[in-house]
Every structure is written in C-alpha cells, then in structure tokens.
Structure 1
Amino acid sequence: MNLESLNPILLALIGTIFTWLMTAAGASLVFFVKRIQTWFMDTMMGFAAGVMIAASFWSLLNPAMEMTKGNPFPAAIGFLAGGLFLFAADKLLPHEHLSEETCSSEGLKTPWGESTLLFLAVTMHNFPEGLAVGVAYGAVAYGLETASLAGAIALTIGIGLQNLPEGAAVSIPLRKTGLSAGRSFFWGQISGAVEPIGGVIGAALVLIAQPFLPYALSFAAGAMIYAVAEEVIPRCQNGKYAHLAMLGLMLGFVVMMILDVALG
C-alpha cells in the first residue's frame, strides 16, 4: 500500500496514536518498579529534550524557512507565536507540576482536584507534540519539496522515543503520592492521549489554509521549544546528575538529527 496516497489527516492520526502508545509504554513501568533511579530518569529526560529541540529545527523550522525561500519573518512570527501561546496558557490555565519530591500548582486559582490539574498540565505540554506531527503530515500533502513522508515518519518516531521517559516521569511519581498503580498508569498514559487530537487538528488546519503552512510549522516548533525550556530541562537539571542530563540531551539531539536526515 502506498502511504502517500492516504489522507494526511488519517496518517497524522495513526502517527499520533503511535506516540500515545509509546507514552503508555513508559507509564506502564509503574506496574513493575516503584522508583526509577534519579540518574537514569534525568538522563532520559535530557534525551527527550534533545529529541524535541532537534525535531523543532530539522522537521519544522527548516522546512518553514525553505518554503519562504530564505525570508525569515514568517518562521520568526510563527515561532514566537507558538511560544507566547504556551506562555499565556501556562499563566492562565490551572495546572499542576509533578516531580519526585513535590507538587506545585500554577495558573489561576481553582478548587479543582489534583488529578484534574495534572491532566491540564500534561494536556498543555503534550498538545504541541501532536500538533507538530500533524503539521508535518499536512506539509507532505502540500507537496513541499523539503517535507517528505519519510521525514514526517522520522518526526513521529522521535516524538515516540521521547514519550517513553515522559510517561514514566508522570506515573511513577504519582504512585509515590499514594495513588494505586492502575490510577497512576491512567494519568501517565493520558499525557499522550491529547497528541492524536493535536495531530488531527494540525493536519486539518494545513489542508484548509495551505498559505499558512510556514506559520503552522514554526508555531509548532516554538510551542515545543517553550515546553522543553519551561518544563523538561529544568526538571532534569535540579539534581546532582545535571551533567548526565546534558549528555542525554546531546545524544537525543543527534539521534533525532540522524533520523530526520537519513529518512527525510
């Protein structure tokens, strides 16, 4: 079967279901271990950050720049808009950050429970990943020279790889707060459940408004970079294994770069 003949929205849905399943695979570790060594988790979170940074450039910003034939302003506007969108959501949307040691709430004050706040947090920070995958498949349908189906698949694989530690990073700390393994797994995997929604929206928007494709690509990149800088990197740089996290980041960047260049 020729994958390129399939509807890009369907491809985006399939791809983001895969990234969701990778999140669920990471979250399922809560059934087998009560704690992951801090050095290992910090390294893996650094790896996830590296993958997202590389994907933001190689799979999103670079094609956006190629579309505009070197004109940097559409990519710059879209990139800043993506970051500002998450900044505003971070300040306004009630949500809760969870780590091995603490839970801290941000956004507008609300009587909502811890589970609801956690769901909002993971929705806010994982939605851009699904959006990025969807936009990538939409770009293939647009016929952009620098956007290939293999490149979109490489982005999907990269996002899936970095979702493994993210799923575990939610479910295992939740287990330590007293939730059952089943409920901890549920909230861990739900952090990836929003990605198919973002994927379908991203692909659909590109097909509806093709002239906005460079803005959409760079918007997704800006949102991903904001999520990495605001959430992922600080989370793995607080402890004594920051150097391992940085090595993991560099490894993740290289892996994603190789995937994108080799397949794309």
Structure 2
Amino acid sequence: MIQWLSQFHPVMQALIGTLFTYAVTALGAAMVFFFKSINKKVLNGMLGFAAGVMIAASYWSLLAPAIEMSAEFPGADWIPAVVGFLLGGAFLWIVDKTLPHVHPGFKKGEQEGVKSSWQRSVLLVLAITIHNFPEGLAVGVAFGAVAAGIPSASIAGAVALAIGIGIQNFPEGAAVSVPLRREGLSRRKSFVYGQFSGMVEPVAGVLGAASVILFRPILPYALAFAAGAMIYVVVEELVPSSQEDEDHNDISTIGAMLGFAVMMTLDVALG
C-alpha cells in the first residue's frame, strides 16, 4: 500500500488518506441499519478508545515531529510547538462557541454556540463535523510534511496516522447515526446524516497538505495546531461523554489505554 501511495502527489495522498478516514466514519454510521441503540458500556469503551487514539496521535505523529522540525528554523525549538498547539485549541474553542451544535447527550432545547432554529438532527451532525476537521487536517499535514522533505516524516508514518484516525472514526460515525435514529429519523436518513459528518475530513486533508507544501516554514506550527485541536476535542467532548456513566467509567478508561497503545504501536511500527 505504501509503495502504491508513493506514486501520487502528496496532495492526492492526503486526499486518499482522508477518504479512507471518511469511509470508516460512514461504516460506523452504517451501524444504524443493525441497531437502534448502543449499549452504554460499549459506547463508553468506544469513546474512550477514540480519546486514547487521538492523544497518542497528537504526540507521536504531530507534536514530536513539530519539535524536531523546529530545529531547522531560528529561535527556540519549543516555540512553534507551543504556539501552534495553543492556536489549535483556541481555534476549536472559537468554533465551539460560535457555530450552533448539540452533542448526543444533550436534552431537547439544549445547544451550544449561537442560538439557532436549525433542526436538532442538523445540529447533531455539526457537532461531530467540528471535531472531524482537525483529524483531517492532521492527516493532510502529515502527508505534506513528506513532500516538504522533513527527515522525520515518512509516508509510512502518515499512513499510520490515517489508520489510527480511521479506527477511532468508527465509533464517532455510530455516535451520530444511532442517536438520530432514536430521535425518529429513518435508518436511511440517519445513515446519510451520520456519514456526512466525516465529509469535512478530505477537505481539511487537502487544505493541510497544500498549505505546508506551499509554505514550508509553517509546517511545525501546522502539526502542533492539529495536535492542539485534537486534544481540545478529547478534553472537551470525548472524555466527559465517555465518563457520564459513573458505574462503568472504568470501561472508558480501559478503552483509552487500549486506544493509546494501538496508535502508539502503529506510529512506532510503521513510522
């Protein structure tokens, strides 16, 4: 697969990688054709697993390379990583506070961001779409780093990141489509809305790859930006959602440990 990918332009590689992550989101959304609800313990474990994958990817695939690349540029090595990381979190915070959306656990009438009269189903999809943007960006920047000639970057590492993001996208797809089904939508509509939340990833991936190829000096900042945005999602949404059931929150903790181990293994083995 890595040899096959290497024949394409890095932007096309990013598109292929993020189309894969989108496809896994759609696969997760397809669970609505088989289940009308998800066991709370299973959902907690899946959300915890997703959190673990994103935490590991943020360091192994994004922050560590950002710090290493910073040595090529004037100034302290830690500045691009810290600045980019904080900007990524700030960006997600601003989007979270402005774009109207609701999370699956919200009661009817509750929403975040600017007040809107949009249908609850649309607001549910927007919540996951917001969170999927930094994931696509991370994959795109990883492929762009290879084209930029960064010694620590490799197609294998970018593929490992895409696989890790794809794995954790499965529960996210299900976490959108199944609640929509409970809200009364048909299985087909629930699936369509659920998979739609992942469509932003190819867009973000192409933008990320193209940006770092055209503007190489921003690469360390871009990697750290994606990491900061993903950590924001983990702390703001995934961890609290996975810990809502106090009787079974150990399951989400175990899931997080497993997710971190899987992503770390992928990055070290392939990257």
What TM-score do you get using the length of structure 1 for normalisation?
A: 0.96
SS in 2 for 1:109: coil
Using the TM superposition, give the Cα deviation of residue 122 of structure 1 relative to its aligned residue in structure 2, in angstroms.
2.0
Instruction: Report what 1:30 is aligned to.
Output: 32
Using the TM superposition, give the Cα deviation of residue 5 of structure 1 relative to its aligned residue in structure 2, in angstroms.
3.7
The percentage of aligned residue pairs carrying the same residue is: 59
Instruction: Report what 2:100 is aligned to.
Output: 94
Does the alignment pair 1:39 with 2:41? yes
In 2, the alpha carbon distance for the partners of 1:107 and 1:141 equals 37
Deviates more, 1:41-50 or 1:3-12: 3-12
SS in 2 for 1:54: helix
Instruction: Report what 1:163 is aligned to.
Output: 169
In 1, the alpha carbon distance for the partners of 2:5 and 2:192 equals 32
Q: Aligned match of 1:55 in 35, 38, 57? A: 57
In 2, the alpha carbon distance for the partners of 1:248 and 1:43 equals 5
1:69-95 alpha-carbon deviations (Å, 9 max, x no partner): 371111000000000000011111111
Query: What is the 5 A alignment of 1:72-221?
Result: 72-99=78-105, 102-103=107-108, 104-221=110-227
Using the TM superposition, give the Cα deviation of residue 121 of structure 1 relative to its aligned residue in structure 2, in angstroms.
1.7
SS in 1 for 2:35: coil
Instruction: Tell me the C-alpha RMSD between the 2 structures.
Output: 1.3
Deviates more, 1:64-73 or 1:208-217: 64-73
In 1, the alpha carbon distance for the partners of 2:5 and 2:201 equals 21
SS in 1 for 2:184: coil
The number of aligned residues is 263
Does the alignment pair 1:236 with 2:242? yes
What TM-score do you get using the length of structure 2 for normalisation?
A: 0.94
In 2, the alpha carbon distance for the partners of 1:50 and 1:179 equals 31
Deviation >6 Å, runs of 4+: none
In 1, the alpha carbon distance for the partners of 2:123 and 2:177 equals 15
Deviates more, 1:180-189 or 1:213-222: 180-189
Deviates more, 1:247-256 or 1:109-118: 109-118
Counterparts in 2 of 1:115 and 1:57: CA distance versus 1, 3 Å:
same
SS in 2 for 1:18: helix
In 2, the alpha carbon distance for the partners of 1:88 and 1:196 equals 22
| Structure 2, gaps ≥5 residues long | none
Instruction: Report what 1:4 is aligned to.
Output: 6
Counterparts in 2 of 1:120 and 1:33: CA distance versus 1, 3 Å:
closer
Using the TM superposition, give the Cα deviation of residue 116 of structure 1 relative to its aligned residue in structure 2, in angstroms.
2.9
Using the TM superposition, give the Cα deviation of residue 124 of structure 1 relative to its aligned residue in structure 2, in angstroms.
1.1
Paired residues of 2:24 and 2:169 also in contact (CA < 8 A): yes
SS in 2 for 1:241: helix
1:112-134 alpha-carbon deviations (Å, 9 max, x no partner): 22233223222211111000000
Amino acid aligned to 1:102: K
SS in 2 for 1:96: coil
| Structure 1, gaps ≥5 residues long | none
Paired residues of 2:125 and 2:176 also in contact (CA < 8 A): no
